[in-house]
Structure 1
Amino acid sequence: MTEARRVYTGRQRVTPSEAFVETLVAQGVTDVFGIVGSAYMDAHDLFPLAGIRFISTAHEQNAAHMADGYARATGRHGVCIAQNGPGVTNFVTAIAAAYWAHSPVVAITPESGSLTAGLGGFQETEQLPIFSKITKWQTHVNSPSRIAELTGRAFHYALHERGPTQVNIPRDYFYGEIETEIPRPFPVQRGAGDSAAIKRAAKLLAAAKFPVIVAGGGVGSAGALAELTALAEHLTAPVVNSYLHNDTFPASHELAAGPLGYQGSQAAMKLIAQADVVLALGSRLGPFGTLPQYGLDYWPKNARIIQVDADFRVIGLVKPVEVGIHGDAKAAAAAIYGELRSVHGERPRNEARIAAIRAARAAWQQELDSLRGANEAGRVDPRRALAELAKARPKNAMVATDIGNVCSVSNSYLQFEEPNSFFAAMAFGNCGYAYPTAIGAKVGRPERPSIAYVGDGAWGMSLAEVLTCVRENIPAIAVVFDNGQWGAEKRNQIDYFDSRFLGTDLANPNFAEVAKAMGGHGITVEHEDQVGSALQEAIASNRPTVINLRLTQALGDPFRRDAFKPPRRLLDKYAAYSAGA
C-alpha cells in the first residue's frame, strides 16, 4: 500500500488513465463513489493498485450524495464518477444539494467519444450545460495531455471555493500515451478581511448593549469553533446557529441558544429579537433562517449587522449590513477578538445576560415538552420519538436529515457538541438526501455513528442503498419515520385544500423486514419506550440497520406559509368541488 500511494515527481511518460488516477492519489483521494461504466473503465481498473476504494452504489444520485456526506464529515474532497449520459445526468440533483451545502465535491463525468460528439450516439448528451449553475467551476478536458492538469485544478477550486466542480472527459481520452507532470495540491490561506472593517466591527460590538452572534456553516468549514467561543465569551454574547447548522456551537455551552429558522429554537429567536448588533459569522443569512416562526417575527429590524463570509457575493445579499467583511470565519473571529482586547480592553462577564439565556432556554424546553402529542396503539407521537432519539444518541454521532415534516420538526431536538456532525439538504431541500449522505459520512468518519432521519416517502428514493451498505460493510443507520404519508404536503392539503388528500397517502411494507431481506439488520419500533433502545442496539450491532419507527400522523407546522394563498376557483365545476359539493 505504501508503494501504491507513492507520489510521482517530475515529468513522466504515462497513459492518460495513469495520469488521472495519480492525480487523485496526489490529492489524497482514498474513496470514490459511483457505478462502474465502460466510459472510464481503463482508469477504474487502476483504483485498487492506487489505494483507492471504489464504492459501488445502487444509483448515481446517491453516489453524489455520498460524496457530499463524505466531504461534509471530513472536510476533504468527496469524489463521484459515473457512466457518460444517463449515469452523469443522475448526478444533477445531488450536485445541486452539494452546491447549496458548500461541499467540495468533485464530479468526474466521462463523456461520449470525441470523434463521435454531436452525432447523437449511444448515451450521448451535452454534460456541461446541465451542471453550469450548480458548480463552482467546470472543465472539459480538450486533450489527453491535459487530463492531470485540469483534474488537479478542479480539486483545487472545489476545496478553496467551497463547492462542487466538474471534470468532463471524453471517453477516448483515457487511452494512449502522454508526457505529463502530476500536479500537487497547495494550500491557499484566507485572511481575516479588511483591517478597517475589522476595527469597525470591533467598535460596534464593544458598544453594543445586546450583541448576538449567528454561527453559520462557515464556522465548521473554517475550523473556527475555538475563535468563535473566545469571542462570544469575551462579549458574553448569545450564540444562535444559522438554519440547519445546529453543529456550529456546542449546545451545552452556557451561551448557546439553539438554531434559527423553521422548527428551530424559540430561545434563539427571542434572544436575537433583542439584539442591537448581530455578528453573522460564516453565514449568508439565507431567507429560511430569518423568516417568522411560531408566530414570532423575530429578526431584529433595527439591529446593525456585521456579516463575515468567504464569498463576497453573499455579503449584504439578504439583509443590509453595517459592516461587511470578506474573509475567513476563523481568521476574522480571531482578528475581531484581538482588536476588542487590545483596543477596548477586557470585559467582565455579563451575569444578567447569562441568566437571560438560561431562562430563555428553560422556557423553550418547557414549551417543547408541552408540544408532545399522544401515542396511539402501535404508534408513537413524532415529538416523543424525536425526544427519545435525542436522549439515546451518542454525543459523537453524526446525523443527516431528509426533507419532510417529521424530519423538519427534528430541528428542535438536534443538539451537537462538535462541528461537522449535522448534515441537512439545506436550501435545495431534496428528498432522498439523508441516507446516502449518512453513508458517505460513515465512510469518511468510520469511528463515529452515522444516523439518517428519513420520512417514509423519501425512504423510497434511497432504500436500495441498504444493498450498498451490506455489500460494502458500511454500518450506517436509517431511522425511517413510518407514518403512511407525505407529511409536509399533507399539511398543506389540510391547511389550504380542505383535507383533500391527493397523492399524499402511503401504504408501506415493514421496512425493517425489507432491510433483513436485503441482508441488513432491521428493528421495528411501535412503543415509545423502545425508541432509545432500538437506536442503541443499531449502533452496537455495527451492521447496516433500518429502524422502522411507526409514528402517528400528527404533523408540525407547515414549512412555507409565506408561499401559499387561499386557492381561488373560477370555473363552476372546480368552485363546487372546492366548496365540498
Structure 2
Amino acid sequence: MSAPAPVYEGRQRVSASEAFVETLVAQGVTDVFGIVGSAYMDAHDLFPLAGIRFISVAHEQNAAHMADGYARATGRHGVCIAQNGPGITNFVTAIAAAYWAHSPVVAITPEAGSATAGLGGFQETEQLPIFSKITKWQTHVNSPARIAELTGRAFHYALHERGPVQVNIPRDYFYGEIDTEIPRPFRVERGPGDAEAIRQAARLLAEAKFPVIVAGGGVAMADGVAELITLAERLSAPVVNSYLHNDSFPASHPLAAGPLGYQGSKAAMHLIAKADVVLALGTRLGPFGTLPQYGLDYWPAQAKIIQVDADLRVLGLVKKIALGIHGDARAAARAIDAELSARLGERVPNAGRLAEIAAEREAWAAELAAQAGTNEAGRVDPRRALAALAAARPANAMVATDIGNVCSVSNSYLQFDTPNSFFAAMSFGNCGYAFPTAIGAKVGRPDRPSIAYIGDGAWGMSLAEVLTCVRENIPVVAVVFDNAQWGAEKRNQIDYFDSRFLGTELQNPNFAEVARAMGANGYTVEHEDQVGDALRLAISSNRPTVINLRLTQALGDPFRRDAFKPPRRLLAKYAAYSARG
C-alpha cells in the first residue's frame, strides 16, 4: 500500500494535527505501530483518512521493535507512537536495540501538556533525557507552528544518519490552527570517500598476499552486495560476515566463508586469521564480534586494516587501522574496484585460494554436523532442530532471532543469499526482541515469509503479540525453543557456580495450546522428523502460527568465558554455600 499524495501544496492554514499527519504522508509513511492514547488522539483519528494503517499492539516496547523490524526489512522509516509518560518509557529498550542496529526508527513521543510541565502531573516525566544516548537526533516541538518542520527534519536525519530519532510533542500542540508548509523529503547521496584514500586502499589490496573482506551491515544498508561481489571476485578474496550480519554477502557464493563472532563459522575464522590485509566494509568491527571463539584467537593482529564506514566516529574506534575511509559502502566498493581494475586488468580467479576457501567451508560443515547431540523421548537436540529448520526454511524467508543460548547457536546455521533477511538484537542483546521484530518485518514485506526464533524464557515477554497478529492478520511464524530453562544464564551457573540453579529453571504450559486459545495456529513438535514439516505447514497456512518446539536441555558454549572469574566467598556461611556443589 502506498501513501496518498499530500492534500495540499505550499503554505496553508491547517490544524496542527493535520500538519503532523500530512508530514507523515509526505515521508511515505503507510504503517504506524503503537497503542492509542489520549495524548495524540486528534492526529490518530486522521490516520485512516491519510492512508496510514495503525497497528495496535499489546505493549509499547514491542511497537518500537516492530518499527525496527519494518525499517530493517524495507530500508524505509519505521514509526512508533504511544501515550505520554509510561507509554513512552516503554519504548526505551527497543529504541536502544534500534540504535545498535542502525535502524531509521522515528519515535513519536507525545508529552504532558506544556502549560503544566514541571508540576508533576498525571503521566508526566522528562522524555528527552532518557533517550539522549540511544538516538541519532532529538527534537522538542516548541510551538505548534513548527510541528511539520521538526517532524520532517527528524525523518530526514533518521534515514540519512541511519538510526532512531525522537520527536517530542506536548499533547496540547496537536490542537489549534497554524500557517505552515509540509516539508518534502530529499535524498542526499553519499560518496565513496577521499579519492586518495581509495587509491591507497586499492594499492594495499593489490599488493596483499591474502586479502580478506569483512562485510558489515552497512553493505546491505547501502544496497551494495552486487558491488561487493564484483570487488571480491576481482581479488579472489574470501568474504566473512560481521557478527549477526549473515545476510551481508550471499552464503552460496564460492567466496563466502560465513559469520565471525559468537557461534560463527570456523571457516571464516581460519581464513581471516591468515589475512595480511583486511577490508572492513560497512562495519564498526564491534568488540563482541571479534573476540576469540572456540578457543581460537583468530583476529589477525598484524594485518593492515582498511576500514570503510559512513559514520566517521567508528573509524579506528575498536581496532587499530592502517587506513580509514569515510564513505558509503556501496560507492566505496565500486570505486576501489575501479582502481583495482586499472591496476590488475581482467579478473583472473585465484584457483588456489578458491580451493582453500572451499576446503575450509567443507571442513566446518562436517564439524558442525558432527556436533549434533542425541534426541530424547519427546525432545529434540537443539542442533538437530536448528539444522532441520535451516533445511526447511524458504530461500526468501526473513528470520529474527532473540538472545539466549539456543538462539545464539542458530548463528552457525543461518545462511542467506538475500540482504535484509536476518534481524538480531545486535550488541544490545535484549530478550523479547525477535517476535515483534518479525511482525514489523512482515508488515513491511508481506511478500516474504517472516520467522522468529525465541527461547521459552524470552517468549514470555512477547507472546501477547500473538493477539496482535490474529487481530491484524499478520502471518508471522514463531518458533519457540521449549527447553524449560533460561539457557544462557544456566550455562554460566553450570560452569562457574557448581550447578546451583537459581531463577533459571522454567515450568511452561504448552505454548501451542496457548496460541490456539488466542486464535492462532499452534503446533507441538517433539520429534526431529516433525521439525521441517511443521515449519513448512506454518508458512503455507498464511496464518499467525506458534511452533512449540520441545528441546533437550543441551547447551552451547557460554557467551563470554572471559567475563567470569571463579566466585570468592569471604564470609564463612557463604564459603560453605559455595562449597556445597
Normalising by structure 2, what TM-score?
0.99
Residues paired across the two proteins, number = 581
Shift of 1:343: 3.1
1:5 touches 1:51 (CA, 8 Å); kept in 2? no
Please name the residue that 2:187 is paired with: 187
Q: Any idea what the Cα deviations from partners look like across 1:295-345, whole Å, max 9, x if unmatched?
A: 100000110000000001000001000010000000000000001111343
Shift of 1:6: 3.7
> Which residue identity does 1:125 align to in structure 2?
T
Provide the C-alpha distance between the structure 1 equivalents of 2:566 and 2:8, rounded to a whole number of angstroms.
65
Structure 2 residue ranges without an equivalent (≥5): none
Q: Any idea what the Cα deviations from partners look like across 1:534-578, whole Å, max 9, x if unmatched?
A: 000000000000000000000000001111111111100001110
Please name the residue that 1:530 is paired with: 530
Please name the residue that 1:208 is paired with: 208
2:382 touches 2:552 (CA, 8 Å); kept in 1? yes
> Which residue identity does 2:561 align to in structure 1?
R
Structure 1 residue ranges without an equivalent (≥5): none
Q: Any idea what the Cα deviations from partners look like across 1:76-106, whole Å, max 9, x if unmatched?
A: 0000000000000000000000000000000
Please name the residue that 1:13 is paired with: 13
1:380 touches 1:528 (CA, 8 Å); kept in 2? yes
1:398-413 alignment, distance < 5 Å: 398-413=398-413
SS state of the match for residue 80, structure 1? strand
1:145 touches 1:180 (CA, 8 Å); kept in 2? yes
Provide the C-alpha distance between the structure 1 equivalents of 2:8 and 2:225, rounded to a whole number of angstroms.
37
Alignment of 1:550 onto 2:546? no
Q: Any idea what the Cα deviations from partners look like across 1:418-471, whole Å, max 9, x if unmatched?
A: 100000000000000000000000000000000000000000000000000000
Please name the residue that 1:490 is paired with: 490
Alignment of 1:106 onto 2:90? no
Please name the residue that 2:455 is paired with: 455
Shift of 1:291: 0.3
Shift of 1:8: 2.4
2:3 touches 2:51 (CA, 8 Å); kept in 1? no
Alignment of 1:292 onto 2:295? no
Please name the residue that 1:307 is paired with: 307
CA pair 128-206 structure 1, distance change in 2 beyond 3 A: same
2:233 touches 2:347 (CA, 8 Å); kept in 1? no
> Which residue identity does 1:198 align to in structure 2?
I
Alignment of 1:332 onto 2:341? no
Provide the C-alpha distance between the structure 2 equivalents of 1:113 and 1:3, rounded to a whole number of angstroms.
30
SS state of the match for residue 139, structure 1? strand
Shift of 1:35: 0.0
Provide the C-alpha distance between the structure 1 equivalents of 2:329 and 2:4, rounded to a whole number of angstroms.
37
Provide the C-alpha distance between the structure 1 equivalents of 2:298 and 2:272, rounded to a whole number of angstroms.
7
SS state of the match for residue 359, structure 2? helix
CA pair 197-2 structure 1, distance change in 2 beyond 3 A: closer
SS state of the match for residue 229, structure 1? helix
Provide the C-alpha distance between the structure 2 equivalents of 1:7 and 1:210, rounded to a whole number of angstroms.
58
Q: Any idea what the Cα deviations from partners look like across 1:133-171, whole Å, max 9, x if unmatched?
A: 000000000000000000000000000000000000000
1:21-420 alignment, distance < 5 Å: 21-420=21-420
Please name the residue that 2:427 is paired with: 427
Provide the C-alpha distance between the structure 2 equivalents of 1:149 and 1:6, rounded to a whole number of angstroms.
15
Provide the C-alpha distance between the structure 1 equivalents of 2:560 and 2:2, rounded to a whole number of angstroms.
53
Provide the C-alpha distance between the structure 2 equivalents of 1:27 and 1:347, rounded to a whole number of angstroms.
42
Percent identity of equivalent pairs: 83
Please name the residue that 2:503 is paired with: 503
Q: Give me the CA root mean square deviation.
A: 0.9
Provide the C-alpha distance between the structure 1 equivalents of 2:48 and 2:109, rounded to a whole number of angstroms.
20
Normalising by structure 1, what TM-score?
0.99
Provide the C-alpha distance between the structure 1 equivalents of 2:271 and 2:395, rounded to a whole number of angstroms.
26
> Which residue identity does 1:18 align to in structure 2?
E
> Which residue identity does 2:23 align to in structure 1?
T
Shift of 1:2: 8.9
2:192 touches 2:328 (CA, 8 Å); kept in 1? yes
1:23 touches 1:151 (CA, 8 Å); kept in 2? yes
1:4 touches 1:49 (CA, 8 Å); kept in 2? no
CA pair 3-75 structure 1, distance change in 2 beyond 3 A: closer
Provide the C-alpha distance between the structure 2 equivalents of 1:344 and 1:144, rounded to a whole number of angstroms.
60
Provide the C-alpha distance between the structure 1 equivalents of 2:562 and 2:78, rounded to a whole number of angstroms.
35
CA pair 495-468 structure 1, distance change in 2 beyond 3 A: same
> Which residue identity does 1:159 align to in structure 2?
L
SS state of the match for residue 580, structure 2? coil
Q: Any idea what the Cα deviations from partners look like across 1:174-195, whole Å, max 9, x if unmatched?
A: 0000000000000000000001
> Which residue identity does 1:434 align to in structure 2?
A
SS state of the match for residue 234, structure 1? helix
Please name the residue that 2:573 is paired with: 573
